[in-house]
Amino acid sequence: MDPRRATRESGTTASQADSAVPGRQRRTSVVEVRELRTLLGLIPAWQDLAAAAIEPNVFYEHWMLLPALGAFGAGKNIRVVLILIDDPAGAAPKLGALLPLARVRNFRNLGISALGLWQHIHCYACTPLVRAEVARECIEALLRWFKSGQAGASLLEMECIAGDGPVRQLLVDVSEELGLLSLTTDAHARGLWSKEGPAGDALGSAVSGDLRRTLRRKERRLCERGRVEHLALRPEDDVARWIDEFLRLEAGGWKGLAGTALAYSETSRRYFEDVATFANRLGRLLMLGIDFDGRPIARRCAFSAGQGSFAFKTAYDEDFAHFSPGAMLELDNIEQLRALPGVRWMDSCATPDNVLINRISNDRRVIRSLAFGVGALGELVISGPPLLRWTHRRMQKWNSTRTKEASPCNKQVAQ
């Protein structure tokens, strides 16, 4: 469906801002959508955008974001912002960019309104989907919309985006061109496996001989007790069984005790079942496992996206923790990634201090958070004295501490 027609026919009350980008033929439109049924009508255009994005982000594709909005978006005041690109020849406009924004509440005491990229408890990357061929136009339209005041916010926060990618660079470059003040509020690195690692490091090159020998010794000891099988999900396998096994393993460990396992709530369980089932239908679900005498003792889940892929979660039976089945699966993942055609890297989505992942990944992905300010209060936060910036960071840290498990960069990988 034509994206503009979909938003018109939905009866949505979303605001729309049109702007002709100076010096360019194409006209851009910024549309805010708040109704799920409108987004459902955009799925074909959304799929096309994801396939043509300058940077992949599986967490903002329709089959992951729509279930997340339904499961975790209630009461969050979320708007999905669309950038539409008109064709000068009169053809239907293309969906040029898509990003979910939510009202940030931690500045209310300062009288500052803020919008930020929406993150839920199981979202580990927030880079917006931006069409490669019109990436600069889309970023410019987004920032002009924010600067114009039509976004209804004096701060725009872009948290947990790929810090070394083209989207982040365009945000910085275009904001400077528009005279929009910006500030990097956070930066850290997390493990990345790349087929084109730095200095020619190959996949698996970071795995030391000592670790390999240790894991082989542990596996031999486990084999002395019973039959050990290393598994990978195949197209003909029963994906529902794999999903159920993963959920049961995760719920049986420390996450189950802490109440943070996917199976802990029906909402989270249903979310994972939906996204994993749909990903499998698309041929983009990557699951690995280890069985002992036919009993699942470890499962790992990841999703592919174009030339990249994103690790999601790992679970293992803690009765077998001494044998490090989670670490074994991470080595299996390296071998699987090596064999995947067209996939060049996998983002570990792990915490920056994850010892195992940092030890075995052959590259790093920088994750940055940016903030843009407009108006007197917004610019004061961005360019104000060190004390105000410190207050800004402290408030962010306080807010993230309240939802520690929900932090998009706090994914734990089983070791």
Q: What is the DSSP string of 123-182?
A: ----PPEEBGGGHHHHHHHHHHHHHHTTT--SEEEEEEEETTSHHHHHHHHHHHHTT-EE
pLDDT at site 109: 60
pLDDT given at position 4: 65
CA 277 to chain centre: 18
Computed over every residue of the chain, the mean pLDDT equals 87
- Please report the pLDDT score of residue 201 as a whole number: 76
The CA distance from 396 to 106, in Å, is 7
Q: What is the mean pLDDT of residues 12-26?
A: 53
pLDDT at 71 over 60: yes
- Output the CA–CA distances (angstroms, integers) from residue 340 to 9, 55, 247, 333, 334, in the order listed: 42, 19, 25, 10, 10
> Is 192 strand, coil or helix?
strand
Q: Which of helix, strand or coil describes residue 41?
A: coil
Q: Determine the average pLDDT of the residues in 230-235.
A: 97
Chain position carrying tokens 């498990």: 405
Question: What's the pLDDT tens digit per position in 136-184?
Answer: 999 999 999 999 999 999 999 999 999 999 999 999 999 999 999 998 9
Q: Does residue 318 sit in helix, strand or coil?
A: helix
Six-digit token pair at 354? Answer: 């994850």
Q: pLDDT category, 255, cuts 50, 70, 90?
A: confident
Higher pLDDT, 189 or 381: 189
Distances 236 to 174, 203, 242, 245, 360 between C-alpha atoms, Å: 48, 28, 12, 17, 31
* Torsion sign, CA atoms 267, 284, 2, 132: positive
Indicate the pTM of the whole model. 0.88
Please name the residue that has the structure tokens 């980008």.
21
DSSP class of residue 88 equals T
404 pLDDT more than 50: no
Determine the Cα–Cα distance for residues 201 and 216; give it in Å rounded to an integer: 23
111 against 398, higher pLDDT: 111
CA torsion 335→337→338→339, rounded to 10°? 90
Q: Can you give the pLDDT at residue 412?
A: 44
Under a CB-based contact definition with an 8 Å cutoff, are residues 308 and 286 in contact?
Answer: no
pLDDT score, position 107? 56
Which pair of tokens denotes residue 40?
Answer: 């459902």
Token pair for residue 193? 């496996």
Asked if residue 118 lies in contact with residue 157, where contact means CB atoms within 8 angstroms, the answer is no
**Is pLDDT at 42 greater than 50 in this prediction?**
yes
pLDDT tens-digit readout, 347-395: 999 999 999 999 999 999 999 999 999 876 777 777 765 445 545 554 5
What one-character DSSP code corresponds to residue 410?
Answer: -
Check pLDDT > 70 for residue 415: no
Type and span of the H or E element at 114: strand 114-117
**CB within 8 A of 411, min separation 6: which ones?**
124, 311, 313, 349, 350, 351
With bands split at pLDDT 50, 70 and 90, how would you rate the model's confidence at 104? Answer: confident
Q: What is the pLDDT of residue 120?
A: 95
What does DSSP assign to residue 26? -
Compute the distance between CA of residue 2 and CA of residue 5 in angstroms, rounded to an integer. 5
**Structural domains of the chain sorted by starting position, each given as residue range(s) with its CATH number in brackets:** 3-189+365-406 (3.40.630), 197-343 (3.40.630.30)
